Amino acid sequence: MSPEIEPSADATHPAPGSPAWFAMLFSPPEQRPAIAAVYALWHELDSLPRRITEPEPMRMRLAWWHEELGRLEAGAPRHPRAVAASPWLEGDALANTLMRELLVAVEEEFEGRGHEHADELRLQAFRRRGAPLSTLALACGAPESIAIRDGRDTGQLMRCAEILADLGPSLARGRLEMPLAALERPETLLTDDGTMPRPEHVAQGVDAVITLGKAGAAVPIRTDAPVFLRLLATLYNALLARATDVLATRVPAKPTRLAAWQPLWLSWRTARAISRETTS
């Protein structure tokens, strides 16, 4: 297999125990193959900056993937992940456009671009999370308007929850993903010795990210939203709330995560509520 079409290390996607895995577990059985296939393709693209470290190989890989998305739309993909997703994405021009937005986000992450203002973070959240989630919703049969709306809102919630949950480790790696305009002297938050800043030093930035994240708060109760997105938004709502509570008192050196029992309980409870809606 040529380097251009070699997949990342074989793994189950979504990863077992992840929020997306629980959301897929409680989604309608007939939608799970589409969710798994599109999510695996999403992961393949999203993980490129963590697998490729040099600019020229990254430039070539991104160019190849732009061509591959064109082949996917035309019904002739070559990459195993694209081949697996083709039953749901072949011939779908909107899905193709959305996945190209993800490639833009991948390039931006590789180049280490930050966010000067909240609008820049909102756009990056759509490209990196909202666009592929909208694609996944389309693959599950959602109408275009609903797929875009709920993919966008869930993606914004997801990305904001990720930023706050991983704030300490990101700062230790020299990455500051909060809007810089919301921070006073943001350069002081990055230290060579891994020292975490005090909560009050990041409070304005945290508030800005929370405000953006709340855009997805209504997705779990939208009766016309795709089930997978309702479940995923439920879990990331909980993670956003948990990270908010933690950051009120400290900036932890380790990622913030939900308690082990919470994803299963929240997914089951939300799935039951959805089931009652359809039988009432």
pLDDT for the residue numbered 149:
97
pLDDT for the residue numbered 1:
46
User: How many Cβ atoms sit within 10 Å of the Cβ of residue 260?
Assistant: 8
8 falls within a domain: no
Structural domain including 123 reads 13-269
Helical segments of the chain, H only: 19-25, 32-46, 48-51, 55-74, 80-89, 93-110, 118-125, 131-139, 144-165, 167-172, 199-213, 227-247, 262-279
Q: How far is CA 24 from CA 17, 39, 138, 263, 275, in A?
A: 11, 10, 15, 12, 15
Mean pLDDT per 10-residue segment, the chain (280 residues): 57 87 97 97 95 94 97 97 97 97 94 88 96 98 97 98 96 91 88 87 95 94 97 98 97 96 97 88
279 falls within a domain: no
5 falls within a domain: no
Mutual angle of helices 80-89 and 93-110, in 10-degree steps: 140
DSSP classification of residue 177: -
110 falls within a domain: yes
7 falls within a domain: no
261 falls within a domain: yes
pLDDT for the residue numbered 194:
79
| Residue type at position 109 | E
21 falls within a domain: yes
164 falls within a domain: yes
Query: Distance from CA of residue 213 to its chain's centroid?
Result: 12
Q: What span, in angstroms and rounded, lies between the C-alpha atoms of 130 and 150?
A: 8
Number of domains the chain contains: 1
pTM recorded for the entire structure: 0.94
Domain with 60 in it: what CATH number?
A: 1.10.600.10
